[in-house]
Amino acid sequence: MENWWFLLLEFAIALTLILMSSRQPFPGPSKRYGSVLLIIALLLLIGETGPRPTSVEVHMYVLLAYGSLGLVRGVHNMLVTREEVIVAPFAGILFSVSATAIMAGQWDSLTSFEEYAAFATIVVIGGCQTWLVFRGLLIGRLPLAWSKAGLVALERGQVSGPHGALECFEKSWDLEEEHLNPMAWLALERIHTFIGNDAEASHWGRRLAESGGEEAVAKEWIDAIESALGRLRPSSEEE
């Protein structure tokens, strides 16, 4: 019966990661991590149908190893590259559950000192996991990453639609990092001007002016936006 609880956890986290990946500036890392976890869960599910079902220890050690890898990569994505914020919290759940289950399974064989050490370790793991959930799932805004994603989409010629340049730039403002907002306002003003939406271009132009105007935006960013739009113009004119 314990195996089915672990299988339920594996499938739930895998599907959640895959579904939530579309809400990240760069959905690739979380989608890949969820997809691999889904494959692992399917293989373990197939193992349950054999004459010798997979033991619960296999689930615990597989989740411990895969959760550890996800934690390392996820924390790097969250704090260093700031590409996405959901891999670390969900990988932390895998790691926390498996590590706690392993220690609980060995509890009867531990000395008093080892019991205290194990309990302290569980408390630390729980505290770190709580921080990951708050940092990633509750307050994990990524304005700079959304701006980068918007520029990537613009260079690919994807102006509108899901994960298009307009959608990404509209999500790239932040009250806590207001110095990044003019980058988004300028990009939106230029894109709406390019597609002939004068009303929206005027709106974002006013927002840009309120934030300091073009002088508040690095010249390299302006050149990158205009260069990407310039490459789109010939194809637009041909149409």
pLDDT > 70? residue 1: no
Instruction: Provide the pLDDT for residue 84.
Output: 87
pLDDT > 90? residue 196: no
Helices (H), ranges, the chain? 2-20, 28-47, 56-76, 87-105, 112-132, 143-155, 165-170, 181-195, 198-210, 219-238
Average pLDDT, the chain: 86
- The DSSP symbol for 161 reads S
Residue 195 pLDDT level (bands cut at 50, 70, 90): confident
Instruction: Give me the amino acid identity at 59.
Output: H
Is the distance from CB of 26 to CB of 60 less than 8 angstroms?
Answer: no
The model's pTM is: 0.81
pLDDT > 70? residue 95: yes
pLDDT > 50? residue 239: no
Instruction: Provide the pLDDT for residue 228.
Output: 87
pLDDT > 80? residue 19: yes
DSSP letters spanning 181-224? HHHHHHHHHHHHHHHT-HHHHHHHHHHHHHTTGGGGS-HHHHHH
pLDDT in tens, 120-177: 999 999 999 999 988 877 766 777 788 888 888 888 888 888 888 888 888 887 766 7
Q: Is the dihedral of CA 121, 93, 137, 163 positive or negative?
A: positive
Q: Where are the domains of the chain?
A: 2-138, 143-238
Structure tokens at 13: 């986290």
Instruction: Give me the amino acid identity at 189.
Output: E
Structure tokens at 184: 């988004």
Instruction: Give me the amino acid identity at 174.
Output: D
Conformational region of residue 26, where left means phi above 0, alpha means psi within -120 to 50, and beta covers everything else: beta
